Amino acid sequence: MYEVAWGFLIALALYFGGISGGSFCFAVIASRRTGEAWRACAYGAAVLSPIALFLAVFMLVLDLGRKLYFWITITTINPVSPMSIGVWMLVLFGLVSLFFALCQIPRLPRIGWIRKLRSLLESHFTKYLEVIGLFLAVGVCIYTGVLLSVTSVPLWRNLFLPFLFLLSGLTTGFADGILSAQILSKRQTSEFLIEPVEFMRQKYRLILILYLLTLLLFCFWPLFTKDSARAGYALIGGWSGLIWWIGVVGIGIVVPIVYVFRKKVFSSQIFSRISVCVTIGGLLMRILILFVGQGAL
């Protein structure tokens, strides 16, 4: 039994961090394509990314014992601390994702310096923003996994955790990016997004299978180790196991897999359902990993 040092706020922070990284990646993919639908996706996902990042950082700060001293993490660098590396990634990614979102907003407010900043970014820095942003987005998704997997908590000490968090972040970020595009486009019908939705459906086939395999490796691997076997059984058995198999694996991955492999004509509505499924699954996964790891469930 371990002390529950990290609770729901940290689970939400991990979750929003994943959405932020994933939606930025989707925004970059969308911004490199032409057409109204892709522009709407780039806009929706690019705006979602800094908002989700802000929520993640807000949750992290809210969880601190001394909230008003969070700035000490920014004035210090400990290159061997995943948390210190992560904080710096969050700061840099926050800036990059904001600048990128600024470039994707179709109608900017009539404020001089904002328009000047955008034209400067578009004329010189678009490529840099994309490349650095992608690197940082992947880093933001991964660092939470690295942070947990180097601790002394047996369930978290798992090599697959960083990649699992990345895949979860990408799936939720992509799906929520499209959802955000639907909301921001203010169209009566969402069918105009069918091209990006169909593209994501093709890509989801591999990503979701990979996600499922990584998740299975993550939860079965500890059973074959001496130190983590008990924690592994705690995750996949009992009440937590029920939530794990039904919520995380069933709703979060298997249902979306069934949707993307069905031969029927795909629609944005179906993709919205996938968004809801992967969002629920991703959140439940983080809550379970966090709480079962600390012996609370």
Q: Which residues bind another protein (CB under 8 A)?
A: 2-3, 5-6, 25, 28-29, 32-34, 63-66, 69-70, 72-73, 76, 78, 80-84, 87, 134, 138-139, 141-142, 145-153, 156-157, 159-163, 165-166, 170, 199, 203, 206-207, 210
CB of 153 to another protein, least distance (A): 6
Are residues 116 and 68 in contact, defined by beta-carbon separation less than 8 angstroms?
A: no
Are residues 177 and 44 in contact, defined by beta-carbon separation less than 8 angstroms?
A: yes
| Choice between 52 and 137, CB closer to another protein | 137
CB of 57 to another protein, least distance (A): 13
For residues 196 and 190, what is the distance between their CA atoms, to the nearest angstrom?
11
CB of 73 to another protein, least distance (A): 5
CB of 263 to another protein, least distance (A): 21
CB of 28 to another protein, least distance (A): 8
| Choice between 154 and 232, CB closer to another protein | 154
Work out the widest C-alpha separation in the chain, in whole angstroms: 63
What tokens does 106 get? Answer: 């179709």
For residues 178 and 12, what is the distance between their CA atoms, to the nearest angstrom?
21
Nearest Cα to Cα of residue 244 among 234, 236, 252, 255: 236
CB of 170 to another protein, least distance (A): 7
For residues 13 and 56, what is the distance between their CA atoms, to the nearest angstrom?
4
| Choice between 169 and 252, CB closer to another protein | 169
| Choice between 117 and 150, CB closer to another protein | 150
User: In sequence order, which ranges of the chain are alpha helices (DSSP H)?
Assistant: 8-31, 36-63, 82-104, 112-120, 126-149, 161-185, 194-220, 229-236, 238-243, 255-261, 268-293
| Choice between 47 and 290, CB closer to another protein | 290
| Choice between 9 and 117, CB closer to another protein | 9
